[in-house]
Amino acid sequence: MSNFDCKEQTNSQGIYEFQIDNDTTLFIKQQNNTLNHGTTIWESSIITAQYMQQLLRSSDNKLKSKRCIELGSGCGLLGLIMCSMGLQTTLTDLEAVLVDVLQDNVKHNLWILNQNRIENNSPFIAQAKILDWTVTQLIPPEFTPPYDYIVATDCVYSLELISHFVRCLNELANEKTLIFCGLERRDPFVVETFINACKGGFYVVKIPEKKLRKMIYKNANNEITVEIYRLKKKKTIK
Ligand SMILES: C[S@@+](CC[C@H](N)C(=O)[O-])C[C@H]1O[C@@H](n2cnc3c(N)ncnc32)[C@H](O)[C@@H]1O
């Protein structure tokens, strides 16, 4: 699977094309005219999706039985990229975002992925669900933790939401879960508050800028605005 390209907006409805390999292009709808953050494809979702694609590229076959959940999916690019690598993926967001963009993007792109799947390979699996960090109880049958992967991008921007977001990560993960959070450091205080809130229950590693530059930006001199953090839950002593 090759690194994908974000192409120009293709029509007035704001459909973006992401070519993920020689045969497959995802079509992601966004809506710029809403007051909701979730109806825009943010830069950190593009960079984190490219990073995950490169990170997991060599493990394609091992991913078929793995489960992934995305928090605050918005338009769903990152979750759909996880799905395209074989992970059974649940993409989540607030109801309004689900209705405006997410459920259509999941349905349409799942259809594309399954049309292009190699004969006899198991189908790609993805679903869109409502998950509000502040109220949802993350219990079966709606949610079935622990997930193998949790991903989220640009979900760290409001001080009030941080404790809810971190609680969700904690409820959805166990010590083996790999968690990746991509973000833009718009307000350093918010980012540091998030990292400190995680440090109690998670090991937190920032993917070095040098590595991102090598993997994504191909050593170009572009300014790197996206940071990616890898989290692993600490063992709780009973
Ligand atoms: C800046 S957008 C990022 C969207 C997408 N992940 C991306 O990077 O393109 C933040 C996302 O968090 C979601 N969000 C905000 N508050 C939330 C909450 N309480 N529960 C669940 N999702 C929430 C928003 O609806 C939105 O989709």
Domains in the chain: ranges and CATH? 40-233 (3.40.50.150)
97 lines ligand 1 (CB under 6 A): yes
* pLDDT tens-digit readout, 44-72: 999 999 999 999 987 767 888 899 999 99
**Which atom of ligand 1 is nearest to 157's Cα?**
1
Cβ neighbors of 225 (< 8 A, separation 6 or more) are: 43, 184, 185
* pLDDT tens-digit readout, 199-230: 999 999 999 998 998 888 765 677 788 999 99
Q: Whose CA is nearest to atom 26 of ligand 1?
A: 38
* pLDDT tens-digit readout, 175-195: 999 999 999 999 999 999 999
45 lines ligand 1 (CB under 6 A): yes
pLDDT band at 10 (very low <50, low <70, confident <90, very high): low
**170: exposed, middle or buried (C-beta count within 10 Å: 0-12, 13-18, 19+)?**
middle
Cβ neighbors of 189 (< 8 A, separation 6 or more) are: 159
C-alpha 83 – ligand 1 centre gap (Å): 19
* pLDDT tens-digit readout, 108-164: 999 999 998 887 788 999 999 999 999 978 888 899 999 999 999 999 999 999 999
- Alpha carbon distance 226, 132 (integer Å): 24
Q: Which of 26, 37, 180 to mutate to test the pocket of ligand 1 (most atoms within 8 A of CB)?
A: 37
pLDDT band at 8 (very low <50, low <70, confident <90, very high): very low
- Average pLDDT in the chain: 89
pLDDT on residue 215: 85
Q: Which tokens belong to 7?
A: 């192409």
Residue 95 CA from chain centroid, whole number: 17
